[in-house]
Every structure is written in structure tokens, then in C-alpha cells.
Copies of this chain bind each other. A is one copy, B any other.
Amino acid sequence: APEMTTLKGRPLDRTAVDSLLRRRFFYAPTADIYGGVAGFFDFGPPGCSLQANIIETWRRHFVLEEDMLEVDSPMITPYAVLKSSGHVERFCDFVAKDSVNGDILRADHVVEEILEARLRGDKEARGETVEVAGNAKKKKKKKLKGETATEGLKLDDAVVQEYSEILAKIDNYDGTGLSELISKHDIRNPSSGNKFSLPVYTQNLMFAVSIGAGKLPAYLRPETAQGQFLNFSKLLEFNQQSMPLASASIGKSGRNEIAPRAGLLHYVDPEGGKKHHRFHEVADVKINLLDRHVQLAGKTNAIPITLGEAVQNGAVDNETIGYFIARIQLFLTKLGLDPNKIRFREHMENEMGKLLYFCVDAELLTSYGWIEAVGCADRSAYDLSCHTKATGVPLVVRESRKEPLVVTEFVAETHKAKFGPRFKKDRKAVQSVVDQLTQDVKEKLSLELKENGKITIDVPEVGDGKVELTSELIKIEQQTRTEYTREFIPNVIEPSFGIGRILYSLCEQVFWTREGSEERAVLSFPPAIAPTKVLLVPLSANPDFKPLVANLTKELRRQGLSTRVDDSSASIGKRYSRNDELGTPLGITVDFQSLKDETITLRDRDTTAQVRAGQDEIIEAIVRLVKGTETWSQISARLPKFEGQELE
């Protein structure tokens, strides 16, 4: 992965970002005073607010814009549901066990970590600069116990080539492949130096719980989608039985960690190539696409391409998934993410195998490399079919046909009144086999029945597995009927958003430090996303300022703008610096001049420039800046500059 940079293009020091985010309580380890829980985080006030603004933006961008129907299901999902959906069997990672201390690590992650460390060591040995800021690098190295050999160790050119190719397609190895890699390249547990017990094995990613005194096994939901699938018919009914239909869910999901996710399901008719009626609106949106063929060839270079081109040349499967990929790109850039630090990576075959669908991930560049933040999958009719099969409840759309359809086919009818007494408790099993006979078999059986007056079918659950049916019990013949309605299982396009990952990546991507004073960090969130919009700074603790500040707070709150007052004794410059760290885009100073003529100053976080004007004018300017209808350069061109009190 390319090295991560700040918003201003300098090398990013992860330790600096992380310590800022913890110090200002964007987040903290869960149960910190108890030593924390690996992978679990609490959001503090600015983190909560940032999260709420991201979710609100998401809701407007997707749910409102597309008239989606919202559903909220409990986090606990019964076993039976996840058994049908395939999660119980296949929602697994490959893990490797330390042969001495029993540590369990994700196999792909450990291979990635070790090979990357070796490549870094090789670069050092070749005298190439390794562009990682001081502390972050130290931290990374510290983790690699028992791997000291990598430091400054030069590798053969062929080995460098091999490692790079492995890393490019690391997500495509199955269990056998990973076991071979670990064995061939002597991959060991980096924190102990021990070998792993091979082969690697699968471990389910879900949290098991039980409902009602241990009687009903269940899991914390691994995704928000299942709750939407199960309610398909109710949503269709709510939508007055009409397509297009789309649903949305926001909430926490649990897969190894409990993280906030927001997911959409867009139902599409599988006939007609999955066109989208608004695709033309996004055909010119450009993304960085890393397609599967490039990865399989051992490369990682994403190619800039418009969605129009990508759908046309087949790199993106169809218009509907293309439409949502574009909408995702627009959403991410609206949040303030850098288009150069966003790429869309197409899944390779073995990855898709996990849950059987075509998938593209939006990945965001961070100091941890590219991390998957949004998935955009074509789940086809898979889930609805699974649940229909398991429950017998048809999850389908019924539409009037414009042209009636004439169907001629073999139909098998059983004689219900005689069927019951003949088969008793087995009648359902027998009936079920009859119902599932294919056209070919029915044709064959109809001839047999005509010839012999009886047929034999396989019903494994009954007696010796063979059941004889006489023509008294069953009739099989060709019939012709006219269908006026069409019934189909819609396909599903599912964009699914890891809110926590987007939030963290955003913090890294908008981070920078002021030229010449590295300790003055800034988080340049767009005003609409920033946790607090306006900092109110009275010049001093003089009580005369209080009424003016209180009134400003009230007025800004009436406009729906969140504010924070800092009336501490620190210097104004210091107080602004503290709020640059919180990403507060705007600051108002109230000084003695304000008491005389009711003018106040407005400061821009990014340039630190200030203007001065009357209270109403300043509030109006803030509303426009936050709504995005005016930029700071427009404001500063139109309102008088102020160069007074900020002493930094």
C-alpha cells in the first residue's frame, strides 16, 4: 500500500492522530479503566456527534433521495435464519493457532503482516527511504518479535516479486493456499516467534447467544440485511405491492467486533439486464477501480474510470450496481474523504464464495493501508430463495403481465382424499417429493404411469426409500394454461456501510498540522460533518460578555447549529487551537467592541483568517457555510477583514 499522507501531503504520523483522537475523546478503548477490550471502542461526545452527522448525511443521501423503507430489527437473530442464509456454515475466517501458546490469529492477516515487514526490511537494506513517520514505524516494528531477521535484511529480487504478487491477491487464498504460504515462507506468530499448527482452520465470525433460558440458539446479527430480507413481503405490501422497492437499516452488527453499520437493499427485476432509470445521472462519475483481473495478475494499481465506461466495458456488471457505486463515491467525497484515497476493489472468486455473490468494496487509504469501508454486492436472488426454501413462504413479486403467457407443461396431481389414509404421517414427505419433480422426470413418469398403472419414486425418509404410487393416487399429464400474472424473485443490490471504519478513515484523511508548528494539529471536517459548528470565545471571563454569548448560543441553536463555549482563562489563540483539534470549522469572538456596536468576529479554521460584522450577518454567513451554499473565500471577499485580537 502507498504510504499515508496528511491532508497537506506530508507523511502522516499515526501516533499523532491517534493520540489526538483519544485525548479529545473522539473515542476511547471500551472499559478502559478495566484494561480495555481489544477491538472495542466507545465514542465520546465529538465521536458521537461525528457519527450522528455521518449517519444523517447517509440517510439524506440514500434513504430520502431514493424513498427507501426503513426497518429496525433486534440485534439477536435466531439460529434457523442464519442457518438458511448460509452464515452458520460459511461466514468464517481462516485462523492459525500458535503451536506453543495457543494464540489464534487470522491466517491472511498474519501472512500479510510478515511479508510486508520483510519487504520493508528489504527496502531498508537497499537504502530506500521507508516513508513512515517515526513513532508509527517504531510501533510496527515493536510488534514483530521473533522477526528481528527482517530488519534491514535484503531479499532476492525474485522473492520480492513473489511476495508482492502474494500480497496483491492475498484475499483470494483458500485454507489450503494459506496453509501452504505459512509453511513455505516460514510465517510465525509475530508476538511469540512460534510456528503455527497447520493446516489453518475455519472459525465462525459470529457471536453466539441464546434466547430464553438457553433454549433457543441464536447469534448477534452479522449484518443488517437479514432483518430486511425476512420482512420482504411486508415491505412489498407496505409499498402497495409495487416495485421498485428498496429498504434500509441502520444499527450495530457483530462480526468479531460490534460495529455500527448502515445497509440498503435495492430490489431489482432480474430480467432486462438490471438497468437503472437514473444511471444517466451518474454515468460521468469517476472512480478508481481495481478489478479482479489486475489483482489476480499480482498487481494493485487501480485505474480511474467513469461508471459509464466501466459498465460499457463490463468491468462493472450492470447499471444498477454501477449506479450505487457512483452514489457511494459521491457520498464518501461529500463526507470529506479524498477521491485519491478512495478505490473500489472487485472481489476475487474465492472471496465471493463466502456468501455467493458479486461484490465490489470501497476501500479507504489509511496508515493501516487500504481498508474496506463499504461493500456493494449483487446478492442475486440468493437470500430470498434460501428463506423461501426453508420456510415455504414465497418471497416473490407478482406482476400483471402486459401480454398473457401461455404455458404447456406436465402437471402431477395427487388424490388428496386417498393420499392421507394411504401414507398417514408420511404423506407430507411423499407430497413434497412429488411437488419437486422436474418437467423431464414428470414426462418420463407420465408414460410409465400410463403403461404400468403405477410408478415408483424415491422418498428417502419413508420405509426403504421407495414409494409406489398407483393411478388411483396420482395423475400426471400435460396441461396448457394461460398466465396473466408474472411471479419472480427479485435480485438484490446491497450497499453496506461500516460507519466506524468510515469515521476513523475520515479522521486520518482530514488530519494535518500547521506549517512550522507540528504540535498544532487540525481536523478539517467539512462544516456539515464537523461535530461542533461554532466555537464561542469571549475575550475574557468578564461577566459583561455573558449575556451576549448566551444570546448567540440561543440564536445559533435555533438555527440547528451546535455550539460550544470556551470561557476558560487560556489565550484566544490557545482556545482556537484546542478547537481546531476538534475540527470546529468556525469561531466567534466576543470582545469589548462587541459590547459597543454588537459586531462580532468570525474565524475560519482552515485559513485562521477572520472577518468582522454585525451579529445577524455573521449568523447568516454561518448558516450558508454549513449548508454549503457559500464558501469561506466568498464570505471573506464580501465581509470586512479583521486582523485584531488573535495572538497565537
Contact = CB atoms under 8 A, between A and B. Distances in A.
Interface string A204-225: 0001111111001010100000
B258 A74 contact: yes
A37 B78 CA distance: 8
Interface string A48-86: 110100000000000010000111111111101100000
A72 B37 CA distance: 15
A453 interface: no
Contacts of A100: none
A237 interface: yes
Interface stretch (A228-236, A360-368, A410-418): A228-236
Interface in A226-249: 227, 230-231, 233-235, 237-238, 240
A25 interface: yes
Contact of A31 (B81, B207, B210, B257): B81
Contact of A104 (B28, B42, B213, B240): B213
A71 B49 CA distance: 9
A391 interface: yes
Contacts of A73: 30, 42-43
Interface string A88-122: 00000001000000001000000000000000000
A38 interface: yes
A76 B207 contact: yes
A38 B78 CA distance: 11
A231 B77 contact: no
Contact of A230 (B24, B33, B231, B234): B33
Contact of A34 (B28, B230, B252): B230
Most chain B beta-carbon contacts within 10 A, residue among A34, A49, A69, A212: A34
A125 to B, nearest CB: 36
A78 B252 CA distance: 18
A471 interface: no
Interface string A176-219: 00000000000000000000000000010001111111001010
A484 interface: no
A31 B393 contact: no
A391 B33 contact: yes
Contacts of A64: 557
A43 B71 contact: yes
A216 B257 CA distance: 13
B557 A258 contact: no
Contact of A78 (B34, B49, B81, B211): B34
A41 B75 CA distance: 11
A212 B25 contact: no
A323 B82 CA distance: 47
Contact of A28 (B25, B39, B51, B231): B231
A415 B236 CA distance: 77
A47 interface: yes
A165 to B, nearest CB: 31
A270 interface: no
Given A70-B45, A78-B34, A240-B568, A209 B220 contact: yes
A74 B28 contact: no
Interface residues of A, number: 68
B203 A238 contact: no
Nearest to A104: B213
Nearest to A258: B74
A175 interface: no
B71 A42 contact: yes
Nearest to A227: B42
B234 A44 contact: yes
A383 to B, nearest CB: 12
Given A75-B75, A75-B258, A209-B207, A45 B30 contact: no
B230 A31 contact: yes
Contact of A76 (B25, B230, B258): B258
A131 interface: no
A387 interface: yes
A423 interface: no
Contacts of A216: 37
A34 B240 CA distance: 23
B207 A213 contact: no
B77 A31 contact: yes
Nearest to A394: B33
Contact of A238 (B39, B45, B254): B45
Contacts of A208: 209-210
A42 B78 contact: no
A31 B210 CA distance: 15
A64 B25 CA distance: 19
Contacts of A77: 30-31
A399 interface: no
A49 B70 contact: yes
A147 B593 CA distance: 82
A48 B393 CA distance: 25
Interface string A556-568: 0100000000001
Contact of A48 (B31, B33, B72, B213): B72
A40 B30 CA distance: 27
Nearest to A23: B237
Contacts of A390: 34
Given A33-B387, A37-B78, A44-B69, 5 more contacts: A34-B391, A42-B73, A64-B557, A76-B254, A203-B213
27 contacts: A25-B231, A25-B238, A28-B234, A30-B230, A31-B77, A31-B78, A33-B233, A33-B387, A39-B212, A40-B74, A42-B74, A42-B230, A42-B231, A43-B71, A43-B72, A45-B70, A45-B71, A48-B72, A64-B557, A74-B252, A75-B220, A75-B258, A76-B258, A104-B213, A208-B209, A240-B568, A251-B252
